[in-house]
Structure 1
Amino acid sequence: MTESNLLTLDLGPIAHGGHTVARHDGRVIFVRHGVPGEVVRVRLTENEESAKFWRGDVAEVLEPSEHRVPHFWEPADALAHRDPVGGAEFGHISLPFQRELKARVFAEQLTRLGGLNAEENNFPQVQFALGREDGLGWRTRMSYSVDPEGRLAMSGFRSNKLTAISQMPLAHPAIEATGLYGVDYTGIDRVEAAVSSKDDATVLILLAEARPGAAKRVARQLPEGVNVAAFSQSGGSAADGRGALQAIAGRSWLSEEVLGEEFRITGEGFWQVHRAAAATLSERVLELAKPQPGEQIADLYAGAGLFSLPLARAVGQEGRVFSIEGAPGTHADAKKNLRGISQATVIRGRVERVLRQVARDAALDAVVLDPPRAGIDKSVAAELASSAVQRICYVSCDPASFARDVSRLTARGYELAHVEIHDLYPHTHHMESVALFVRR
């Protein structure tokens, strides 16, 4: 490292994505692993002269913030590692201040991209902080790379360098207790671990097999009682480029329980990551969407039916819930989870196309949507407006795409009546929000 790679900078405000904003000779530099107000030495990681902005990591803290704390996990600590791994980029910040920073980002995004005034609308602080007081042990889903020596590994932000790890403090204790870090994963390209949030804490290990037979060898190294499933990285369908999921030891799915309802989730199916998130979000959606007996409701990007099932119970047999999902594996989970619920119709397809058909055939009273990080696109916003649905309950995991969609929906006759922030991802910059839009 040459001296030209290091700059002494005053860190400015927090920005979306986990960075603080600094300036040097008129150029913006996005800095990770800092705290607003600090004076630090920054190691530049991207500094092309032609670039509009540069990027860097904090290498040394000269004047620390009162909110800085020792990082709980050394591999993710920029002060200990030149290329810190991702997944715990706020671990050097006290939990209360993490939540204050997330609220600032949320307000800034709604103001800049959503066209709303933060002060006039009294945008909320983090209203619901879930889990342990230390913010650890909450992840029920983990994804790992495998390094050339066959060890579980993770990479840093915008980096391909793999760092072998022997623990992940944010992971559910049941995942950590399997001993999966001591296994030789040679012949495996990627490893995913999932645990049921039910009391039995059943663990499923999903292996992306790069070499035939590797999954069975790995399964023999894991303790008895751990379920193992695998798919081949080659020989898959044209749609997904992978082979079918096969159980190697035990079963290839997990059982979840939310608000008294049972759900079956395959290893490849989507489920909320925080161990308390599924129940909390379901409760908030029911509170805000206010489903009534006899109503017709569309659940867009419905996944395995987490919201569809309680919504169907609420509307009763006189009503109808349309559970709409595009991913084939998750759609299959929804079909199993909603089997026998006569008022639930499970449909696979592109959301805007299916919504257009549903809205033409049914007078929708409300829509619930939980899109991927990219949010909804213009065509979905247009279809929602055309349907003239009166209530939209929007669950979002990204404040930037949500703010953009606020702008799209308010331009089409909706008003943001309520929004709340949930800290479902402690020690990261991520957050979840639940909002209610009403037709003006």
Structure 2
Amino acid sequence: MTSWLGRVLEVEVGAVAHGGHCVARADGRVVFVRHALPGEQVRVEVTEDNGGSFCRGDAIEVLSASAHRVEPPCPLAVPGGCGGCDWQHASPAYQRDLKAAVVAEQLQRLAGIERDVVVEALDGGPLDWRSRVRLVADREGRAGLRAHHSHRVVPLTDCPIAVPGELDDVLARRWKPGSELEVTQDGDGTTHVRELATVRGKVRARQLAGGVAVQHAAGRDWRLDAHGFWQVHPAAAATLAGVVAEWAEAPSGGSAWDLYAGVGLFASVLASQVGPAGRVLAIESGRRAVADGERNLADLPQVSWQAGRVEHALAEAEKPVDVVVLDPPRKGAGRAVVESIVAGAPDRIVYVACDPAALARDVAFFASHGYGLTDLRAFDAFPMTHHVECVALLS
């Protein structure tokens, strides 16, 4: 098949798909189109074609616009520009509708579940929310973000979705070309900066500002590695902890597992429910996170920590367990972890997910062991991007 790379097609845009694009068809092939909206008529330039039944492209001209189309607040959120955002050309309410459609489609296709989904907005609006940004320096030492599916660096002078002031100092100076910069603004408004550079094939980190972040959620103050895991949206941690508290219903004196525990946000919620006579096992593979968690929850002796892979740690865990909370990485938990969880025979499972496809696959695994999807909430924790945070209750 002759490559379509660089070819310009006129297409009618169909449904939204997982990943920040919509589906169109041309000459018998599927075209995944960015910078378009369902129902639009657009001209698409093919940007990727590896052969086969589909290719990818950018909408370079809108011939018939959706009523939900708006002017992107960032001039770099265009074809060939920054790859950090997917939906700046859609109104915030419609962005949530698109994400809801993706979650529903993934549940139906991968788990056989028909369910209406609503994606809820978090406090703060669609801009000024991103508290953690990873930048890279281009050949001239200017900090920026990579273009979509590319190593090309797009230099920044500002980022409308970043917390105001967070990037000012980093963007004002020049860096060693190729350096990566991790920037975090914590719950007290302190900015932390770490530079990562490859020297003789090894990545070396240099802390330039801060290092220990302070965050606030679930009625506690947290001190943790500024570049370790914490929710990116300032309102997300407290919101998710609230849903976990509502759905977990861990019994007083009972037992609970917090899997992929991070620094113990959900473990703290479970500990308050089981009380001093109960038990909470927190499992986390990152040893720095475990150390931070042990320090932050030192006043809760009912919480015990284990560093390591979840499926390995659960093999030795005391069973049965009343409630399980898990917040796996983007790839999901997977069959082995699901089987380790159901071996504990929990009454309730609260699953926090940042990828709807991975969530749907794992929900199907749980269903094969008799656990049904009881409830679901979805949150727009990453406005302007295609990402969405979900919380599922299985019982």
TM-score (norm 2): 0.95
Give the secondary structure class of the aligned counterpart of 2:338: helix
What aligned pairs does 1:81-160 form with structure 2 within 5 A after superposition?
A: 83-116=80-113, 118=114, 122-126=115-119, 128-133=120-125, 135-160=126-151
Q: What corresponds to 1:365 in structure 2?
A: 322
2:293 partner amino acid: A
Judge conservation of contact 2:244–2:269 (CA < 8 Å) in 1.
no
Identify the range of structure 1 (326-335 vs 371-380) with the bigger mean alpha-carbon deviation: 326-335
Report the CA distance between 1:3 and its aligned residue. 11
Judge conservation of contact 1:254–1:265 (CA < 8 Å) in 2.
yes
* Alignment: residue pair count: 392
Report the CA distance between 1:259 and its aligned residue. 2.7
Mapped partners of 1:152, 1:139: distance in 2: 17
Give the secondary structure class of the aligned counterpart of 2:72: coil
- Alignment RMSD: 1.8
Identify the range of structure 1 (140-149 vs 153-162) with the bigger mean alpha-carbon deviation: 153-162
Give the secondary structure class of the aligned counterpart of 1:76: coil
2:60 partner amino acid: A
Residue 387 of structure 2 is aligned to residue 430 of structure 1: yes
Report the CA distance between 1:268 and its aligned residue. 2.9
Q: What corresponds to 1:388 in structure 2?
A: 345
Q: Which runs of 5+ in 2 are unaligned?
A: none
Mapped partners of 1:31, 1:184: distance in 2: 35
Q: What corresponds to 1:20 in structure 2?
A: 22
Report the CA distance between 1:313 and its aligned residue. 2.1
2:91 partner amino acid: S
2:25 partner amino acid: R
Give the secondary structure class of the aligned counterpart of 1:138: coil
2:194 partner amino acid: L
Q: What corresponds to 1:56 in structure 2?
A: 57
Q: Which one of the candidate residues 283, 286, 293 is aligned to 2:245?
A: 286
Q: What corresponds to 1:414 in structure 2?
A: 371
1:16 partner amino acid: H
Q: Which runs of 5+ in 1 are unaligned?
A: 212-232, 236-241
2:369 partner amino acid: R
Q: What corresponds to 1:167 in structure 2?
A: 158
Report the CA distance between 1:33 and its aligned residue. 0.8
Q: What corresponds to 1:9 in structure 2?
A: 11
Change (3 A) 1:321 1:252: same
Residue 191 of structure 2 is aligned to residue 203 of structure 1: yes
- Residues 104-141 of structure 1 show CA distances to partners (whole Å, capped at 9, x for unaligned) of 1111100000111x2xxx42211x211334x0001111
Q: What corresponds to 1:179 in structure 2?
A: 169
Q: What corresponds to 1:265 in structure 2?
A: 224
2:109 partner amino acid: R
1:195 partner amino acid: Q
Give the secondary structure class of the aligned counterpart of 1:142: strand
1:19 partner amino acid: H
Mapped partners of 1:258, 1:4: distance in 2: 48
Give the secondary structure class of the aligned counterpart of 1:329: helix
Give the secondary structure class of the aligned counterpart of 1:312: helix
Give the secondary structure class of the aligned counterpart of 2:183: strand
Mapped partners of 1:192, 1:67: distance in 2: 34
Give the secondary structure class of the aligned counterpart of 1:157: coil
Give the secondary structure class of the aligned counterpart of 2:316: helix
Report percent identity of matched pairs: 39
- Residues 388-410 of structure 1 show CA distances to partners (whole Å, capped at 9, x for unaligned) of 11110000001101011111000
Report the CA distance between 1:363 and its aligned residue. 2.6
Q: What corresponds to 1:309 in structure 2?
A: 268
Judge conservation of contact 2:194–2:207 (CA < 8 Å) in 1.
no
Mapped partners of 2:178, 2:43: distance in 1: 39
Q: What corresponds to 1:299 in structure 2?
A: 258
Report the CA distance between 1:187 and its aligned residue. 5.8
- Residues 162-201 of structure 1 show CA distances to partners (whole Å, capped at 9, x for unaligned) of 111111110011404x43211111266100110112xx31
1:415 partner amino acid: G
2:365 partner amino acid: R
TM-score (norm 1): 0.86
2:89 partner amino acid: H
Give the secondary structure class of the aligned counterpart of 2:313: helix
Q: Where in structure 1 do 4 or more consecutive aligned residues deviate above 4 Å?
A: 245-249
Judge conservation of contact 1:187–1:210 (CA < 8 Å) in 2.
no
Mapped partners of 1:87, 1:290: distance in 2: 38
2:193 partner amino acid: I
Judge conservation of contact 1:90–1:429 (CA < 8 Å) in 2.
yes
